Structures are given as C-alpha cells and as structure tokens.
Structure 1
Amino acid sequence: MKDLFSTDSQRYQQARPTYPPSLLQSLLQYIPERELAWDCGAGSGQLTHMLASYFDQVVGTDISQTQLSHAEYYDNISYQLQPAENTTFPDHCFDLITVAQAIHWFDFEAFYAEVRRTIKPSGILAVVGYGLIHVDDLEINAKVQHLYHQTLNGFWDAERHYVDELYQTIPFPFDEIEMPAFQIEAQWTLQQLLQYLNTWSAVQHYILEKNLDPVQQLLSKGRDLQDQVSIQFPVLLRVGRCS
C-alpha cells in the first residue's frame, strides 16, 4: 500500500468530498449484525465517522499516522496504524469491511486474504470510491478536464487507471451484490474546488518536478474565489460476500 497523502493531511481532510448517507443506508440492508466495522485505508476518516452512527464499534486503519491524526474521533471509533494486508485483528470479527478511495493502492491478493480471515460469515466487503469531478460551470469544468487529461498526463501514479475505469477492472473475487448508482453532489466555492484539486497526487508530483502550481492557472482574472459552483462525483462501488 502506498502512502501519498501524509505530507498534507490537513488539507486532505478538509477538502475531500463526503459520501451520501443513502449509500450507507443501502449497504446496511445487507448487514444483519452491526457490532464491529473496519474501515481500511481510512485516511482522515471521511467514511469512518459515518459508520459510527450505525455500529457498536468502528476501527479505522491506515499506514499514515499523520492522516489518522486529522480524523474525527468518536467514543466508539478506534483509529489504528496498521497496513491493509497484515493486521492484528482476530479471525471472523467484522460485520462490515469498507475501503474508501484506497483499494487501488493495495496489494489485492494479500488484502483479500485478510478480508476472508477477519470477516464474519454474514459480513460484507464494500469497496467505495469516486471518479473524476464534474463542475456545472462550463468554463471551469473544461479547465479541470484539461488539467486532468492533458497537463497532468504522465504525473498520475499507475494505479490511477482503476479509478478511471470506475473500479470495474479491480479484481473482486467475492459473491457480488448488485447496488444502485450513487452520486456525490455539493455546492462548493471556487476556493474549495482549488483546495480539492491540490489534494490530487498528480498535482503534487507536478509541483515537485516543475516547481509550478498547475491548479492556480484554472481561474480567469476577475473570478471571485467565493463564487459558488455545483459539483458532482460519480460514486464507485463494489459490494460482495465471501463465498
């Protein structure tokens, strides 16, 4: 598992989008027991804290202590520094295992072996993520698309292709459950949009190599950073049970 986000964990925690509550409601109908959930690759806890309302106990793990230090803490959440592929958890203890916007960094085979070891027979694995942002402002959206596909071409890590392929090409050796489509929708200021784009790993690679910030080129002169835009992300989702 790669750690690409420790260097600016606070920005990541503040700028990354949150998942729609309807996604969790849809997952919960397949989970008969709700004692213990594991959010793997939790980062700064965008999904972990959402699980806390539905499970007796939630464990969030990551390989970045810096990321975990910016997560929201609740009485029934334990954040632990553990790799996805080799944990200290007991066998068959989890009712739900989630991975949010992180599965593409994992060693699939090793992680799935850990899922099979630690999940209850009635439990499910939910692999969640989100694709490329869409902005309703046509000028800004065109610039974001150009940034993603042209400016940052060659700066994305190889694993990014799994996100571009909407997680449909990740190995998923489980009995898959068909799920409805979900979308993240929000109103952001242009300042929030720029902050989000600066969390892209490819942007940070670009800055390190060229000593230029490609995100700052997105705004035309005269645009107010407090102007609001509507944004959407397609939610990526694979859900299954161990056979």
Structure 2
Amino acid sequence: MIKAIPGWTLSGGLRGVRRCVGERSMSEFVFRTAEHAELYSKFRPSPPTELLHRIVSCASSRESLLDVGCGSGQCTELMAEHFKRVVGCDNSRAQIEQAEARRTEKKLLNVEYKLSSVGNMIFGAGSFDVITASQCVHWFDVGEFYSEAHRVLRKNGLLAMFGYCVPLPVSGVSEIDSAIETRIMRLYRSDLGPFWETDRSLIDSCYRTLRKPGRGFEPLLQELAIHQKRPTDLDGYIQYLATWSSFQKFKKKNPDADLLGELKSDLRNLLRDVRGLGSDKDINLYMDTNFFLHIYKKRDPV
C-alpha cells in the first residue's frame, strides 16, 4: 500500500483544476495525441486473467459487453473470447484509432470501437449485459456515468470498475526493492504530483473512496488485492512511466528536462549490486501491479 507523505495531498493540489473531472480532461490534455495513444498500446498493463474471470463468472448473460474509456483496447480485446459482441468506447479519437489498428491486426471480428463520451453515450437503453471500466472512472463525472450505465445496461446487468495502483519494479532483494519504491514514489508524488489532473487518492485507495453508484445498483463483489507479476526490464518500465498523463503534461511544460532519464540512472545504480552493469535490457525485473475490482448489479427501479 502506498505510504502517505505528511502535510501533502494530491487532492489539495488539484482543487483548482477539477472543473470537469474526467472526460474533458482526458481529451483536452494528452490522451488525444497519437504519440500518447501508441505508448498506451505498447506499455500499459493489461488486467490479469484472474480479474477477468471474476467478471465473467458474475455475468448472467454473455451476449454483449461495453468497455468504456477503452483507450487503445487492451482490456476490450481480452473480453472477445468471453462475449458474443464486445464494444469499446472512448472520447479520444487517437485512442480509438490505435484500438482499431490492434483489432485489425488481431482479426477480432466480434469487437468494435466507437467514439463516445460516457456522460452521454450513443447507445440505446438496455443494450449491454456488462459494462467494464478499466483505470478510468476517476476521470469521469461519476454521477453522469452511473446514470448512463444504468440506462444502457439490461436487467440484472453488471457494472465492473477496476484499476491498479502504481506498478513497481521488483528485483527480489527486499532492501533494494524498498529503495526503488521510495524513489518511484518521489517521482509519483513530488516531481509529478502537481501535474496530475485527477485526484490520485482514488487510485491509491483502490476506489474505496470513490463515490458509490447508490440507487439503481447493488454491490456484488469487491476485490482489493489481485496481484500481477510480469517480466520487464528497466527500459520497458521507464517506457511505461512515459504513459502517465502527468508525465506527458510535465514534458509539455518542461521540454528540456530529463526526468525519466534521471530516474533510470538512479534505478540503475540501485540495481547495480544485484543485476550487474549490462545494458538496460539486461536488467531483468518483474513489474508488480496490484489490481482492484468493484462489481455492481443493476436493479430496478432507479
């Protein structure tokens, strides 16, 4: 669990910019660029099989699924083998174009992508059995989102919201991994803290502090610790950090700064005793990611 830094909160530093949390911010700042969409497609974590199976096992019907805030489609395409029809929607044209390219490459015939906001969806009432939202609800006006989700879900449909805390590279040596975590948390909170457009405490709390759907939905399942460890290297981890919206915003304001280069150098020095002095790709690590999942079931009347 991420440790708090006394006297500093992300929410306190963000009050002035939360005028339209989410959808407007997602398209207005960095998610609309083709470069950022490509980084998302290559380096963002995909949810583990265990998490997906939780969702699938709770669904009373597997006819249709809508993945909102789908980005470049990593989560959307994983549902293709479980549902007859899968639709991903996002309000970033660049992300949708990247998702379409992936769909074409993988020949996913039962997957389609639509440009749509979540506060005013283009889909008809009762269109889907399941709605998924991966690492995106903290961007939304949740009141509008819950209302629209209730409208487009069929009777007894599911709303599954999930995400992940800050992924950390681990070497297997506890003392070094602790030092790595401290250094990355400095980047996350101090260096990039002022550049987050949303309240990151929602992610840090595994959505426990997120406003609940309330009337129209009943809680079905909550999982707060679904761990995924996958192989990576130092270069791959740094490329993942480049997908952070806060880094993209920082880079735009500070084009000459080499924030990730400095981090890479620090991490390389920390890992020297364990992994030797090879190239960055020779420094083999595991990326440890803690996923969380909240599932709600639609109930009538609202």
**TM-score scaled by length of structure 1:** 0.94
Tell me if structure 2 keeps the 8 A contact 1:130–1:236. Answer: yes
Number of equivalent positions = 243
Match of 1:187 among 231, 234, 254: 231
| 2:18 matched residue in structure 1 | none
**Residue identity (%):** 30
Tell me if structure 1 keeps the 8 A contact 2:232–2:286. Answer: yes
Deviation larger for 62-71 or 49-58: 62-71
| 1:224 matched residue in structure 2 | 279
| 1:82 matched residue in structure 2 | 116
Q: Which residue type is aligned with residue 187 of structure 2?
A: L
Q: Which has the higher helix share?
A: 2
How far apart, CA to CA, are the structure 2 residues paired with 1:35 and 1:62? 21
Deviation larger for 226-235 or 211-220: 211-220
Show CA shifts across 1:36-56 (max 9, x none): 100000000011001100111
How far apart, CA to CA, are the structure 2 residues paired with 1:88 and 1:153? 34
| 1:198 matched residue in structure 2 | 242
1:20 is aligned to 2:37? no
Task: Quote the offset at 1:61 in angstroms.
Answer: 0.2
Q: Which residue type is aligned with residue 177 of structure 1?
A: L
Deviation larger for 24-33 or 133-142: 133-142
Task: Quote the offset at 1:161 in angstroms.
Answer: 2.6
How far apart, CA to CA, are the structure 2 residues paired with 1:219 and 1:93? 46
Match of 2:253 among 209, 215, 232: 209
1:242 is aligned to 2:282? no
Aligned CA-pair RMSD: 1.6
Q: Which runs of 5+ in 1 are unaligned?
A: none
Match of 1:40 among 68, 82, 85: 68
Task: Quote the offset at 1:223 in angstroms.
Answer: 5.8
1:172 is aligned to 2:212? yes
What SS is found at the alignment partner of 1:69? helix
Task: Quote the offset at 1:163 in angstroms.
Answer: 1.1
Tell me if structure 2 keeps the 8 A contact 1:5–1:12. Answer: no
Deviation larger for 14-23 or 201-210: 201-210
Match of 1:115 among 146, 149, 161: 149
| 1:61 matched residue in structure 2 | 89
Q: Which runs of 5+ in 2 are unaligned?
A: 1-22, 172-176, 270-276
Report runs of 4+ in structure 1 exceeding 4 Å deviation: none
| 1:5 matched residue in structure 2 | 31
| 2:197 matched residue in structure 1 | 157
Match of 1:49 among 54, 77, 84: 77
What SS is found at the alignment partner of 1:157? coil
How far apart, CA to CA, are the structure 2 residues paired with 1:235 and 1:210? 31
How far apart, CA to CA, are the structure 2 residues paired with 1:87 and 1:238? 22
Q: Which residue type is aligned with residue 62 of structure 1?
A: D
Task: Quote the offset at 1:127 in angstroms.
Answer: 0.4
Q: Which residue type is aligned with residue 155 of structure 1?
A: F
Show CA shifts across 1:73-112 (max 9, x none): 1100110001111122121121100001111111111111
Tell me if structure 1 keeps the 8 A contact 2:229–2:289. Answer: yes
Q: Which residue type is aligned with residue 48 of structure 1?
A: T
